[in-house]
Amino acid sequence: MMHVDAPHPNCAYKWMEWSLNPKLQGDLAAWFGSVPAVPAACKGNELLTDAGCATNGFNDFDKIWFWRTPTASAVTAPGIVFPIVNG
């Protein structure tokens, strides 16, 4: 994301483009034990190695439950019910 009033938007765009570079993403994923934001980084990175993404959970993406803003009705997850409390 970039702020609407960024003082140097061209610089911000260049930084965002650089930060999504597969080489950089692979190195960061290897360093932090995470999965890169760019799937292309999973192949051919010397630090991450070709098995690094699988080791760090790349194949478990379907098991992640992302936040959903509560609504007026109950929110459910597998086997769990979260009642909405008005107050």
Distance between CA atoms of 31 and 47, rounded to whole angstroms?
8
**Nearest residue to 59 via CA among 70, 48, 68, 51:** 51
For the chain, report the end-to-end CA distance as a whole number of angstroms: 33
Q: Which residue has the tokens 């890169």?
A: 36
For 10, the 3-state DSSP assignment is helix
Read off the pLDDT of residues 16-32 as tens digits, 9 standing for 90 and up: 999 999 999 999 999 99
Residues 52, 30 contacting (CB under 8 angstroms): yes
Under the banding of pLDDT at 50, 70 and 90, the label for residue 67 is confident
Read off the pLDDT of residues 7-66 as tens digits, 9 standing for 90 and up: 999 999 999 999 999 999 999 999 999 999 999 999 999 999 999 999 999 999 888 888
The residue with greater pLDDT, 1 or 21, is: 21
Length of the chain: 87
Supply the pTM of this predicted model: 0.65
